[in-house]
Structure 1
Amino acid sequence: MKHLAPFIVMIAILIAISVIIVVITNYNLKKKILNKENIDDKMYAILNNLTGFNAEMLKWGIILLFGGIGLIVLEFLPHDENTPLPYGVMTVFVALGFLTYYFMMKNQKK
C-alpha cells in the first residue's frame, strides 16, 4: 500500500492540471464567441455546452469518492502483496463511480 501513494498523488496532479487546462480553454473559447458580432443559434448551443462544467465536476467528484471508498475497503481486506486483488477492487469501485454518474445523468435528462 505504501507504493500506491505516489501513484495516486501523480494521478491527482494530472487530473488537476487537466481540469485547469479545460477551464482556461473553455473561457478563451467563450470569450471569442461572445466577441463576435453575429451570434447565431449554433454558437448559443456551443456556449450552453461549455457552461455545463458543473456536470463534469460532479462526475469527477463521484469517481474520486468511489475511488476513496475503494481504498478504505482495501485497508480492511486481508491480501498478499503479490496478488492482483487491490487492482480489481479499485477497478470495481471506480467503475461503480462511473455507473453512478451515468445513471444520475440519464435520470436528469428524463
Structure 2
Amino acid sequence: MKNLAPFIVMIAILIAISVVIVVLTNYDLKKKILNKENIDDKMFIILNNLTGFSSEMLKWGIILLFGGIGLIVLEFLPYNENSPLPYGVMTVFVSLGFLTYYFLMKNQKK
C-alpha cells in the first residue's frame, strides 16, 4: 500500500493540472465571446454550457473526499499484503462518492 502513495499523488497532480487548463481555456473562450459585438442566441447557449463547470468540480471533490476517507479507513483495518480487501474498500468508497454526487444532482434538478 505504501508503494501506491506516489502513484496517487501523481494522479492528483495530473488532475489538478488538467482542471487548471480547463478553467483557463474556458475563461479565455468566454472573454473572446463577450468581446465580440454580435452576440446572438447561439453564443448564449455556448456561454451557459461553459459555466456548467461547477458541477464537475463538485463531482470530483466528492469522489476525492470519499476516496480519502477510504484511505483513512484502510489505515485502521488489519489486512494481509496479498488480500484484496484494500481494493474492495477503495472501490466501495469511490462508488459511494459517485452515488452521492448522482443523488445530489438528481435532487438539485427537481
Same fold, judged at TM 0.5 (above) = yes
Secondary structure of 1:78's counterpart equals: coil
1:21 maps onto 2:8 in alignment: no
Which TM-score applies when normalising by structure 2? Answer: 0.91
C-alpha distance in 1, partners of 2:88/2:7?
Answer: 16
C-alpha distance in 2, partners of 1:91/1:109?
Answer: 27
Instruction: Provide the alpha-carbon RMSD of the alignment.
Output: 1.3
What stretches of structure 1 move > 4 A for 4+ residues in a row? none
What is the letter of the counterpart of residue 42 of structure 1? K
Aligned to 1:90: 90
Aligned to 1:61: 61
Secondary structure of 2:98's counterpart equals: helix
C-alpha distance in 1, partners of 2:57/2:45?
Answer: 20
What is the letter of the counterpart of residue 75 of structure 1? E
Gapped runs of 5+ residues in structure 1?
A: none
C-alpha distance in 2, partners of 1:96/1:25?
Answer: 31
Gapped runs of 5+ residues in structure 2?
A: none
State the identity as a percent: 88
1:12 maps onto 2:9 in alignment: no
C-alpha distance in 1, partners of 2:32/2:52?
Answer: 18
C-alpha distance in 1, partners of 2:40/2:83?
Answer: 57
- The Cα of 1:36 is off from its aligned counterpart by 2.1
C-alpha distance in 1, partners of 2:19/2:31?
Answer: 18
C-alpha distance in 2, partners of 1:10/1:101?
Answer: 24
Which TM-score applies when normalising by structure 1? Answer: 0.91
1:30 maps onto 2:30 in alignment: yes
Matched length:
110
- The Cα of 1:54 is off from its aligned counterpart by 2.1
